[in-house]
Amino acid sequence: MEIYSNTVTLKNKDVDLHQRLKTSKLFELLQEASIAHTEALGMGRNRTLDRGLLWVVLQQKVLIHHMPHYDDTITVVTWPGETLHVLFPRYYQILDEKGTLLVEASMIWMLVDQKTRKMIFPDRWDIIIPGVKTGREMEMPVHMSFPKGEETFSFTVPYSYCDLNGHMNNTHYYDLVEDHIPQAAEGRTIREIEADYGTEILYGGKIDISLKIHKDMIEASGDKEKNRFRIRIRYSE
Amino acid sequence: METREKVLASIFKTIKDNVPDMFGSELSEDTVLNEKTNIDSMGFILVLTKLEGEFGVKIPDEKWNDIRTIRDLADMILAYMPKN
Residue A8 confidence class, pLDDT cut points 50, 70, 90: very high
User: ipTM for the complex?
Assistant: 0.84
Residue A195: band (very low, low, confident or very high) from pLDDT cuts 50, 70, 90? very high
Q: Where are the alpha helices (DSSP H) in chain A?
A: 23-40, 170-178, 182-186
Q: Confirm or reject contact between B39 and chain A (CB < 8 A).
A: yes
**Does B37 score more than 60 pLDDT?**
no
pLDDT digits (tens, 9 = 90+) for A114-130: 999 889 999 999 999 99
Higher pLDDT, B38 or A1: A1
Q: Which of A32, A40, A75, A58 is nearest to A163 (CA)?
A: A32
Average pLDDT of span A44-54: 95
Three-state DSSP at A97 gives coil
- Please, which pLDDT band fits residue B44 given cuts at 50, 70 and 90? confident
Query: Cβ of A87 and B45 within 8 Å?
Result: yes
Give me the total of CB pairs closer than 8 Å, taking one residue from chain A and one from chain B. Answer: 34
pLDDT mean over A13-22: 97
Q: How confident is the model at residue B18 (pLDDT cuts 50, 70, 90)?
A: confident
On chain A, the residues whose CB falls within 8 A of the CB of B50 are 84
User: Using one digit for the tens of pLDDT, what is the confidence trace for A93-120?
Assistant: 999 999 999 999 999 999 999 999 889 9
| pLDDT at position B38 | 53
pLDDT of residue A225: 81
What is the arrangement of strands in the sheet containing A217-224, beginning at the earlier edge strand? Answer: A4-9, A73-80, A88-95, A101-113, A53-64, A190-197, A226-235, A217-224, A206-213, A151-156
List A residues 156-215 in contact with B (Cβ-Cβ < 8 A).
198
- Decide if pLDDT at B39 tops 60: no
Does A98 contact chain B (CB < 8 Å)?
Answer: no
User: Which of residues A141 and B24 earns the better pLDDT score?
Assistant: A141
Q: Does B50 touch chain A (CB under 8 A)?
A: yes
- B13 reaches A (C-beta below 8 A): no
